[in-house]
Amino acid sequence: MKRKPPAAIDEDWMSTYGDMVTLLLCFFVMMAGVSKIDAALFEQIQAGMNEGVGKRDVQRPIEMMLVELTDDIQSLSVGNEVALGTDSQGVQLSFDGDFLFDYGSATLREQVIPILKKVAATLSAERYNSFNFEISGHTSDQDFSSPQFPSNWELSAARAAAVVRFFESRGIPRIRLKAVGMYDVAPKYPNRDRDNVPIPQNRAKNRRVEIMIIPSFK
């Protein structure tokens, strides 16, 4: 009795699947070319595609960082003074300026040092070595002048530099750090109402230091 030859394995589906993945990749590349890339979304897409082609060990550093920083903020009970989120560049950590500094000062308050130490310990971890940090100081539109800081330009820049110096002292290389003074040019809320009357609570919210944590995708 003749032995039947083994049935041939139909692998035509693999060609179709490969074409589909390639088309998806081309689509996302095209979208990236005509729009501003959202870093967190890009990471999700990249991880999803890697998982789709069989790569099991998929790193999601932005997602991991968000989880760790959220834990830091909750453990320190500073949810009212520190805001965490993402934008098109990466992770954004925002500190209330009146929480970090006394009025007209660019010297970090003693009570915020333990908080910044914990945040710096997270950000300086080896797993985040591909991230850069842009620290920007923001003030309100309220006029300010002192012998040390002639205007809010100098004050906002000095506050950003104070946080940068602190992070450098905690082990983050200076080549990955940038300090920017923003004065009142990027308010989160209107400093004045329609009648040009100052809004004190909005001015307070606009006085802040923002840490933009920018990934480098490779």
Any idea what the CATH number is for the domain that residue 134 is in? 3.30.1330.60
Domain assignment of residue 146, yes or no: yes
Q: Is the pLDDT of residue 75 over 90?
A: yes
β-pairing verdict for 131-138 and 208-215? antiparallel
The predicted pLDDT at position 184 comes to 97
Q: Into how many domains does the chain fold? A: 2
Q: Are 174 and 196 in contact (CB under 8 A)?
A: no
What tens digit of pLDDT does each residue of 144-163 get?
Answer: 999 999 999 999 999 999 99
- Same structural domain, 18 and 72: no
pLDDT greater at residue 59 or residue 119: 119
- Same structural domain, 38 and 126: no
Q: Which residue is listed with tokens 């990934």? A: 215
The predicted pLDDT at position 34 comes to 47
Q: Is the pTM of this model over 0.85?
A: no
Domain encompassing residue 84: 61-215
pLDDT greater at residue 25 or residue 138: 138
pLDDT greater at residue 122 or residue 24: 122
- Same structural domain, 129 and 39: no
Q: What is the mean pLDDT of residues 45-68?
A: 68
- Same structural domain, 109 and 46: no
3-state class (DSSP) for residue 84: strand
Domain assignment of residue 178, yes or no: yes
Domain assignment of residue 138, yes or no: yes
- Same structural domain, 75 and 107: yes
Rank 6-10, 55-59, 84-88, 148-152 by mean pLDDT and report only the highest: 148-152
Residues 6+ apart with CB under 8 A from 159: 97, 100, 101, 106, 137, 181, 209
- Same structural domain, 27 and 107: no
Q: Is the pLDDT of residue 122 over 80?
A: yes
